[in-house]
């Protein structure tokens, strides 16, 4: 993408003399200058500022709209989905750093995202919430861009920090940039909703992006993922879909296309079970020299006959009922026992959308089965974090097994 820095600075002044507008402008000028001085590279920098206590102007570099830069790089309309996700992940990382400083932007939309010095940056902090800032929002005043605003921001009874609202607005912005739209569809981006379709932009990669946007646009702020988690999920999606693998599609085919029509329970359970066989095959290969020597559950037991988790007490499972932990689904795969008496187990526990993944190395002798090692890692069952959790467990088990050479079976 090209950069227009050097084509002339931009002078910014207050739009009107309303007391609230002036107070917001003064705060924006001071705070953005402070972010520039602190080296925050993800924010449009301040080149110069009125030195008065209540600055009446500040100067910023000329920058391109991110939407224009994405179209130029892709050479198409709409732009490449992966390019959009990469830029939004950078913006999410910036907003995550700002939230750590108690700064909420509150006006995230395509018109406030720019491209400067070969990176995406955030601009226009005119209605941002700053730490220790005087109250500049009227009771009941809508805060944020109309078509990108989170539900909780439409009617406000008192000032509050608005970090979940920024997640909502950024997810809406990603969707708009990816589709080349002016405005996003309303509401939560349910995976099943045809108006939120991403398949034709990136095939199966688009389908795997959809749950991230659903979680980022949950109606209740407490149910929404954080900006940091949003960034993490997007980065993992990018890692799992390298350049050249995310391509627009015309005709749908394949099993995954049917997922949006399944009930939530079936969808989450199916996703959990798809995660585990790759780990079982790797463990079997390492223990036996063959990827096929492992067992899956039979019937509704959720585990092979005679195999169970041994270290449940150490995994600190959450309690969600009077009976303790009641999982929505459970699935366990196990390798056969090798000549040294070892077997490796990979299991998934489903709690809502959370996949709690457990790997164990067990030793079997004539009298008992004992736990040698056990680990737990978690992720959202439909998001890249679940695959990342499984991959980390695979690496842990592989490293431990490699410490003891495989005996010939």
Taking only the tens place, the pLDDT of each residue in 212-264 is 999 999 999 999 999 999 999 999 999 999 988 888 765 555 545 545 544 56
Return the DSSP state at 43: B
Least confident span in 266-270, 312-316, 328-332, 405-409 = 405-409
* pLDDT above 60 for 140: no
Q: What is the CATH number of domain 10-260?
A: 1.10.510.10
Helical ranges in 188-300 per DSSP H: 199-216, 227-240, 264-275, 277-288
Mean pLDDT over residues 399-406, rounded? 83
> What pLDDT is attached to residue 70?
95
Which residue ranges does the chain devote to CATH 1.10.510.10?
10-260
Q: At what angle do helices 163-179 and 199-216 cross, to 10 degrees?
A: 170
Tokens of 294: 């492992």
Which residue do the tokens 């089965």 mark? 369
Q: pLDDT of 160-196, one tens digit each?
A: 557 899 999 999 999 999 999 999 999 999 887 778 8
Q: Is 182 in contact with 176 (CB distance < 8 Å)?
A: yes
- Of 69-78, 141-150, 176-185, least confident by mean pLDDT is 141-150
Q: Which of 23-37, 122-136, 143-157, 159-173 has the highest mean pLDDT?
A: 23-37
What is the pTM (predicted TM-score) of this model? 0.76
| pLDDT reading at 392 higher than 80 | yes
**Mean pLDDT, residues 27-44 taken together:** 93
Give the per-residue pLDDT at 36: 93
Cα 306-310-311 angle, rounded to 5 deg: 165
Task: Write down the pLDDT at residue 92.
Answer: 98
Q: Which two tokens stand for residue 124?
A: 């226009």
pLDDT at 197: 83
Q: What does each C-alpha distance from 53 to 16, 49, 58, 102, 125 come to in angstroms?
A: 18, 11, 13, 23, 18
- CA 365/CA 294 separation, integer angstroms: 18
């Amino acid at each position: 993408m090209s950069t227009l820095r050097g084509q002339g600075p931009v002078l910014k002044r207050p739009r009107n003399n309303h007391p609230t507008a002036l107070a917001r402008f003064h705060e924006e000028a001071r705070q953005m200058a402070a972010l520039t001085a602190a080296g925050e590279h993800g924010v449009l920098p301040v080149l110069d500022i009125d030195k008065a206590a209540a600055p009446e102007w500040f100067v910023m570099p000329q920058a391109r709209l991110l939407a224009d830069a994405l179209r130029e790089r892709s050479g198409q309309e709409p732009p490449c989905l992966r390019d959009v996700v990469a830029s939004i992940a950078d913006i999410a990382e910036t907003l995550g750093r700002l939230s750590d400083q108690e700064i909420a932007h509150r006006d995230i939309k395509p018109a406030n995202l720019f491209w400067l010095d070969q990176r995406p940056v955030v601009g226009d902090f005119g209605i941002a919430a700053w730490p220790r800032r005087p109250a500049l929002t009227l009771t009941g005043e809508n805060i944020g861009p109309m078509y990108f605003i989170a539900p909780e921001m439409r009617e406000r009874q008192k000032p509050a920090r608005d970090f979940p609202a920024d997640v909502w607005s950024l997810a809406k912005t990603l969707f708009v940039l990816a589709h080349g739209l002016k405005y996003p569809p309303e509401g939560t981006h349910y995976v099943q909703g045809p108006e939120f379709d991403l398949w034709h932009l990136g095939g199966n990669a688009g389908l795997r992006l959809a749950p991230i946007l659903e979680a980022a646009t949950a109606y209740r702020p407490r149910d929404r993922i954080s900006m940091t988690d949003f960034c993490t999920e997007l980065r993992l999606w990018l890692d799992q879909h390298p350049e050249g693998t995310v391509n627009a599609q015309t005709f749908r085919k394949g099993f995954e296309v049917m997922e949006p029509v399944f009930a939530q329970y079936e969808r989450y359970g199916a996703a959990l079970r798809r995660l585990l066989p790759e780990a079982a095959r790797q463990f079997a290969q390492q223990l036996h020299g063959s990827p096929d020597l492992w067992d899956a559950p039979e019937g509704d037991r959720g585990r092979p006959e005679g195999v169970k988790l041994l270290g449940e007490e150490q995994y600190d499972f959450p309690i969600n009922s009077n009976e303790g932990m009641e999982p929505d689904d459970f699935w366990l795969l196990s390798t056969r026992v090798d000549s040294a008496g070892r077997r490796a187990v990979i299991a998934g526990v489903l709690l809502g959308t959370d996949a709690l993944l457990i790997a164990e190395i067990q030793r079997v002798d004539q009298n008992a089965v004992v736990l040698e090692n056990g680990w737990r890692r978690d992720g959202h069952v439909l998001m890249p974090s679940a695959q990342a959790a499984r991959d980390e467990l695979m690496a842990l088990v592989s490293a431990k097994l490699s410490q003891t050479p495989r005996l010939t079976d």
